[in-house]
Structure 1
C-alpha cells in the first residue's frame, strides 16, 4: 500500500493532508523518516505520525444491488454515483471491483482492499461473472457454441475467453464470463448480430445478489475468502 494511502486509512487526514505530513517529515517507517508519499509499506511495517503509531482501519467488503441510472464512480457525473446510497464514513477510500455501465443493474462489489479486488477483476484469476441478458431478437442457432470457442470483438486482437450461454427463452439468456473487457457483454452479442436491451449481473464467483435494488450489505467472512480464491467452473 502507498504510504499516503496508509496514513489516510489510519487517520482522519485527507490524501492532501497525508501528503503534506509526509513531505514535512512527520511520518516514519520502521524508525526512518520517509518523505516520498508513493513509498510502499506493508502489514509488518511500523508507521508513525508525529511519534504516534498508526493502525489502519480494517478493510471493508460490500455487496450492492446497483440501480439503473447510477454510475460506478466515487463522484457524480452525468449520472449520480452509487456511493450516494452508502451511508458510511470515508467512502472516498472505496472502489468498485468490476464496474457496470449506467444502464446496467445488479451486483457490484465495493472494497478498499486492492489486492482482493485484483482477484475479481483480472482475467487470469478466472472469476465468474453471471449476467441475465435481454436481447432484441431471438438468438441464432450455434451462438452458445461460438461463445464457448471465443468471440472476435471489434478492435481486439484476441478472442474472448470461453463463455457459457444458458438459454432461458428466445430473447432471454444467462451469460457467464471470466473477464471484463470494455462493454464486453454488449459487444459479444453485437458480434453475433444481436443487441442487448437489458443487462443485470446476478453473481460474482460464489456470491449471489440477495438484496433489494439500491440496498447494500457487508460480505460475510466466508464470502470474502471465497472471492480471494475464485476460479472458473466451466
Structure 2
C-alpha cells in the first residue's frame, strides 16, 4: 500500500497531511527516511513517524439493521444518513458496502476494508443478495420464469442477470439477485407492471441479518462472519 495511506490510517492524519509529513522527512521505513508519499510498503512494515512506531489499526466490519427514512451516504443536505447512527470517529473511518435506498430496510454492511467491500459489490464476484418484498398486486404465473431469464429495465442496454423469485404469499416474495443495479428490485417488478410497497434486505452472501438487531442498531461482525464474505 502507499506510504501516505498507511500513515493516514495509522495516525488519523488526512492523506494531505500525511504526504506533508513524509516530504518533510519525518517518516522512516525500517532504517530509511522516505520522502516519497507514493512509496509502496507492506502493511506490516516497520514504520516510525517522528521517531515513534506506528502501525495499522485492526479492520472494522459492521452489520447494521437499516431503518426506513435514512439515506446511504456520507452526508446529505435533506436527510439523515446511516452514518449518523455511528459514533463520529467510527463513521469517519468506514464506508458503506452497497447502498440501500431511503425506503428500504434490512442488512447493511460497513467497513474500512476496500478489498472486502469490492468482493461483495463487484459484479464479477456475483455475491448473492436476498430481499423480502411486499407487492401492490399479485404476480402473473410466469413471473419466476421471467426473473430467471432476465428482464430489460427502462434505460438499460442489457438484461438483468438471472434472479430467483420465490412466492411466500399472494403479494409477498423473496428475491435473490447476483448484481446491484440502481433500484433494481423495484425496477424489475415495475417491468412486470407491479409496484413494491416495502423492501427488506435479509442477507448478503451467506451472512444474514441478526434477528436480535432492532432497526437502527448495529454491531461488529465476528471474524467468522466477516470470513463468510471473503470467498
Settle same-fold status: TM greater than 0.5: yes
Deviation at 1:45, TM superposition (A): 3.6
For the aligned residue pairs, the C-alpha RMSD in angstroms reads: 1.9
SS of aligned partner of 1:180: coil
Deviation at 1:40, TM superposition (A): 4.5
Partner in structure 2 of residue 33 of structure 1: 34
SS of aligned partner of 1:130: strand
Deviation at 1:94, TM superposition (A): 0.4
Q: Which runs of 5+ in 1 are unaligned?
A: 230-234
Partner in structure 1 of residue 158 of structure 2: 158
CA distance in 2, matches of 1:34, 1:183: 46
State TM-score, norm by structure 2. Answer: 0.90
207-216 or 43-52, larger mean C-alpha shift: 43-52
CA distance in 2, matches of 1:144, 1:81: 34
Deviation at 1:154, TM superposition (A): 2.0
23-32 or 131-140, larger mean C-alpha shift: 23-32
SS of aligned partner of 2:141: coil
Deviation at 1:184, TM superposition (A): 1.0
CA distance in 2, matches of 1:71, 1:20: 35
Partner in structure 1 of residue 112 of structure 2: 112
Report Cα offsets for 1:24-69 as digits up to 9, x if no partner: 3433445351433x55543244433234332110001000001111
Partner in structure 2 of residue 178 of structure 1: 178
| Contact 2:151 2:160 survives alignment (8 Å) | yes
1:206/1:88 Cα in 2 relative to 1: closer, same or farther (>3 Å)?
Answer: farther
Deviation at 1:16, TM superposition (A): 3.9
Q: Any residues of structure 2 matched to 1:34-183 within 5 Å, and which?
A: 34-36=35-37, 40-87=40-87, 89-183=89-183
State TM-score, norm by structure 1. Answer: 0.89
| Contact 1:107 1:204 survives alignment (8 Å) | yes
Deviation at 1:140, TM superposition (A): 1.2
1:34/1:196 Cα in 2 relative to 1: closer, same or farther (>3 Å)?
Answer: farther
- Number of equivalences: 228
SS of aligned partner of 1:138: coil
CA distance in 2, matches of 1:76, 1:157: 30
CA distance in 2, matches of 1:51, 1:118: 35
Partner in structure 2 of residue 232 of structure 1: none
SS of aligned partner of 1:162: coil
